[in-house]
Structure 1
Amino acid sequence: MSTSTQRKSASTQRKAVRFASGDTSCAAWHYPGSNGGCVIMAGGTSVTKEPASDLFAARFNDAGFAVLAFDHRRFGQSGGAPRQIVRFDEQIADWHAAIEYAAGLPDVDPDRISIWGFSLAGGHVFRVAADHPRLAGAIAQTPLVDARAVAPHAMRSMTPLALVRLLGLGVADLLGGLVGRPPLLVPTAGPRGAVASLTTPDAMDGDLALDPDGRHTDWERTVAARIALQIGGYRPGRHAARIRCPLLVVVCDRDRSALPGPAVRAARDAPRSEVVRLSGSHYAPFLASHEPAVEAEISFLQKHLAPRDAG
């Protein structure tokens, strides 16, 4: 069965659901599974659940796993206002709520849940897995685990004028938020010289990787500019030593957005980690390296989410 056929078949079986998180609710797709295992999925920065997960969710579901793919609050179809604002603690709380919700689904064994995220959400995976020793597994794909280490490279990828304008917008956005003004939004990705959250050489591959057919017309590719001031302090890889479940870290050798080095170093601190190295840039697992990526991830899930009585 082709990947497009698998994705279409899985999408016809999934059901729209919502679960409470904080003072709002998160929108999700639930793909019913047949083997008791479940993969909870979300995307990075402003990437909503469909472009973030469709390509991988169909394959996981075809292998028998239930999938719960969700939008972080303030993004996509989830609640929360103002919109397009990344707040790390809120998003981590959304993951906790998703795990609790998935554990109560009739087709899910609460002891056989794994989490999956890429880019910024791949970084979240480290922190969430550290807080949930009951998880059966965790997959971090091209994860942003140490923004402080990545920031100098990201800034060098911007022109000086664009960097100054982005930081200025970030300050204005942050101060405006304190007095109730609407967020000042910037594109999540752009070419060098653009005023965008990220202008690394592979940042613009996102559309081709995540929405090649232009199907996701509701996906808003913007983020509140204040992220430029906040992201540098986000270092979820520091939680790696507390992760007790098996951890799979997928890195790409030419990733210029999250960089492979910090993820590999963080993985070494996790007691039960393994690293899969692929060729290509940040979005390669959705493009040329998709097959080796998904095969490695399904193999990991089959190993660690197998029924407890399996021989």
Structure 2
Amino acid sequence: MRMSTEREKVRFTSGGIECVAWHYPGTNGACVIMAGGGGVTKEPGTDPFARRFHEAGYTVLAFDYRHLGESGGRPRQIVSVGRQLADWQAAIAFAATLPGVDPARLAIWGFSLSGGHVFRVAARNPHLAAAIAQTPNADGPAAARVASGHQRPLTLLRLTALSLLDAMGALIGRRPLLVPLAGPPGTLALLTTPDSVDGDRALNPGNRYPGWQQAIAVRSMLGIAMYRPGRFASRTRRPLLVLVCDQDQSALAEPAAAAADRAPRGELVRMPGGHYEPFLDGHEQAVDAELSFLRRHLLDHQPANGPAATGMAHPE
């Protein structure tokens, strides 16, 4: 799909390391900050939704986490919950300085692992105007239990051994051991759930993004499996949209729906399909729900002082 909107490459710093992002200049003063799921870079992870948000007038900042994509950080293909949360903080601060952006009308958007981050980031940043968690991984242990049921016991043992070996290797500076993000049962991969194999078709149709390395360091898997960001939903005071797919076997619908119910201003949208349905046949339904939410909370109740330009982006 050819991008029908202009965008520019911008950079900001997180933890002393450069993060790279796409900046889509908007017209309505509001900004949506976006990141892809676990191991998914900004183009396959955000392009379809970023384009639609931008066409509706929003500024968009879609970034790569450290250690992934075009952002810096060594070693590569590391997914660290703590570092990614810090990257969100840096991205939010940078977005507030973009030309024409009103800092009072910032929203965040993430799916899968990043959708889980949305719960924590929204709880930590009460100044955000809104947050969208799309098919979020709200409860890592629950998702891991379901995922293990779609894997062969011997492969699970091998994956556990590799994870421990890679974690020990990290202590002495060895390069990460990598496994694919998804694969059929019996293969060594982060996910082998039935809907996980839709990831490449949903995010990378026709190999549209050949530079996307669809692999993750095995040392990252334990942190993801133990992560329970849905617990923070009750602390989120701003409007929160949680979009779940009822047949999601990779991140699970029910823990995310329960998180939406605990959020004081939570809204839940349910749709049929697996984990990647919002990128497939359900794309229009997902986009319509998210645009309606953004319009109600970022545009219909604009602050009295209007858009404020507080800084400049740094084009490539």
Q: TM-score, normalised by structure 1?
A: 0.96
Distance 1:141 1:151 in 2: 19
Structure of higher RCO (CA pairs closer than 8 Å, 6+ residues apart): 2
Cα displacement string for residues 210-233 of structure 1 (whole angstroms, at most 9, x for unaligned residues)? 111212111000000022322222
Distance 2:29 2:237 in 1: 21
Distance 1:161 1:291 in 2: 41
Moved more, 174-183 or 147-156: 147-156
SS in 1 for 2:54: helix
CA deviation after TM superposition for structure 1 residue 161, in Å? 1.3
State the match for 1:89 in structure 2: 82
Cα displacement string for residues 279-302 of structure 1 (whole angstroms, at most 9, x for unaligned residues)? 110000000110010000001011
2:193 counterpart of 1:196: no
SS in 2 for 1:9: coil
Moved more, 224-233 or 156-165: 224-233
Distance 1:89 1:188 in 2: 20
Distance 1:199 1:20 in 2: 34
Structure 1 residues 225-240: aligned runs within 5 Å: 225-240=218-233
Kept in 2, the 8 Å contact 1:171–1:229? The answer is: no
Cα displacement string for residues 136-166 of structure 1 (whole angstroms, at most 9, x for unaligned residues)? 0000000001101111111111111111111
SS in 2 for 1:276: strand
Of 46, 52, 55, which residue of structure 2 is paired with 1:53?
46
State the match for 2:303 in structure 1: 308
Distance 2:127 2:76 in 1: 32
Kept in 2, the 8 Å contact 1:186–1:223? The answer is: yes
Kept in 1, the 8 Å contact 2:135–2:242? The answer is: yes
Structure 1 residues 1-311: aligned runs within 5 Å: 4=1, 8-10=3-5, 13-306=6-299, 307-309=302-304
For residue 92 of structure 2, what is the amino acid of its counterpart? I
Distance 1:238 1:279 in 2: 25
Q: TM-score, normalised by structure 2?
A: 0.94
Kept in 1, the 8 Å contact 2:81–2:224? The answer is: no
For residue 58 of structure 1, what is the amino acid of its counterpart? R
State the match for 2:313 in structure 1: none
Distance 1:61 1:203 in 2: 28
For residue 284 of structure 1, what is the amino acid of its counterpart? E
Unaligned residue ranges in structure 2 (runs of 5+): 307-316
Cα displacement string for residues 156-203 of structure 1 (whole angstroms, at most 9, x for unaligned residues)? 111111111111110010000000100000001111110101100000
Where in structure 1 do 4 or more consecutive aligned residues deviate above 4 Å?
Answer: none
CA deviation after TM superposition for structure 1 residue 258, in Å? 0.4
SS in 1 for 2:146: helix
For residue 70 of structure 2, what is the amino acid of its counterpart? Q
For residue 141 of structure 2, what is the amino acid of its counterpart? R
RMSD: 1.0
Kept in 1, the 8 Å contact 2:245–2:275? The answer is: yes
For residue 231 of structure 1, what is the amino acid of its counterpart? I
Distance 1:149 1:101 in 2: 34
For residue 232 of structure 1, what is the amino acid of its counterpart? A
Cα displacement string for residues 82-105 of structure 1 (whole angstroms, at most 9, x for unaligned residues)? 111111110000000000000011
Unaligned residue ranges in structure 1 (runs of 5+): none
Moved more, 101-110 or 301-310: 301-310
Kept in 2, the 8 Å contact 1:167–1:229? The answer is: no
**Equivalent pairs, count:** 303
State the match for 2:312 in structure 1: none
Identity, % of aligned positions: 59
Distance 1:308 1:227 in 2: 41
Cα displacement string for residues 99-135 of structure 1 (whole angstroms, at most 9, x for unaligned residues)? 0000011121000000000000000000000000000
Distance 2:226 2:201 in 1: 29
SS in 1 for 2:194: coil
